[in-house]
Amino acid sequence: MDSRPQLSLFISSKMGELAPERRAVQEALSAFLLHGWLWETDAGARPEPIRSVYLAEVEACDIYIGLFWQGYGPYTIEEFEHARKHHKPCLVYDKHIEQEKREAKLGTFLASLQDVENRKGLTVCRFKTAEQLAEQVQKDVMRLLASTFKNSRKQISQPQEPSASPAMNVTEAHHNIIIGNNYGKTEQHNYDISSTGRKRRNRE
């Protein structure tokens, strides 16, 4: 069982090319008492293989944050796809400078995410500096948490439709109205409401 008291956000990217941005995001989250999980500071030494560690951390996180720039990192893409598989809210950011150096495979991946016709797509946010990214992540995470809280309150406050009681069954056949219980012995009261008169007959 995950015993971490804070909300955990998994920060995913190619570590080398976005190292300053990764640290900036972690610091921005810590200002709101949120834990931004980074491999280089949080993984430590473990008896499990590397791949099982980072996938387990994706499963344990509350929110996934993906940072992309020039290189197509297969491990980063795997982390993203694992987060989607486990229905994690995903916030994706694109460092939008020096686009001519971007690998074509990464460009295709990001374009697919932002395709308006892609029902499984995302709204990707562009940034240029680490400071701009940090500020935007704070805003987006707070908006996501507020939206999630409001939606949960709506679900709680919605009145439940009263269910029909199984104890009573009312059937009208011809001119007789039969009223009876559904469990145990059934007592029927037959009322003759024909034009010839009104008679009542009790039968057990």
Residues 38 and 134 grouped into a single domain: yes
Cβ–Cβ < 8 Å for 124, 92: yes
- 111-138 pLDDT tens trace: 999 999 999 999 999 999 999 999 999 9
Show the domain range for 174: 168-196
**Residue 201 falls inside a structural domain:** no
Which sign, positive or negative, has the C-alpha torsion 115, 145, 15, 131?
positive
Residues 103 and 14 grouped into a single domain: yes
**Residue 159 falls inside a structural domain:** no
Residues 133 and 180 grouped into a single domain: no
How open is the CA angle 142-34-1, to the nearest 5 degrees? Answer: 120
Residues 66 and 143 grouped into a single domain: yes
**Residue 3 falls inside a structural domain:** no
- In this model, does residue 172 exceed pLDDT 50? no
Percent of the chain with pLDDT over 90: 69
Residues 82 and 182 grouped into a single domain: no
**Residue 154 falls inside a structural domain:** no
Residues 136 and 57 grouped into a single domain: yes
- The whole-model pTM stands at 0.73
Total structural domains in the chain? 2
- In this model, does residue 147 exceed pLDDT 50? yes
Instruction: Give bridge partners of residue 199 from the DSSP assignment.
Output: 192
Across the chain, the runs of DSSP E, i.e. the strands, are: 8-12, 35-37, 63-68, 90-95, 125-127, 168-173, 176-181, 188-192, 199-203
Residues 131 and 60 grouped into a single domain: yes
Residues 181 and 140 grouped into a single domain: no
CA dihedral 128, 136, 74, 14 (to 10 degrees): 60
Instruction: For residue 178, count other CB atoms closer than 10 A to its CB.
Output: 15
**Residue 2 falls inside a structural domain:** no
Q: Please report the pLDDT score of residue 162 as a whole number.
A: 57
**Residue 162 falls inside a structural domain:** no
Residues 125 and 76 grouped into a single domain: yes
Residues 99 and 55 grouped into a single domain: yes
Q: Please report the pLDDT score of residue 180 as a whole number.
A: 41
What CATH number has the domain bearing residue 36?
Answer: 3.40.50.450
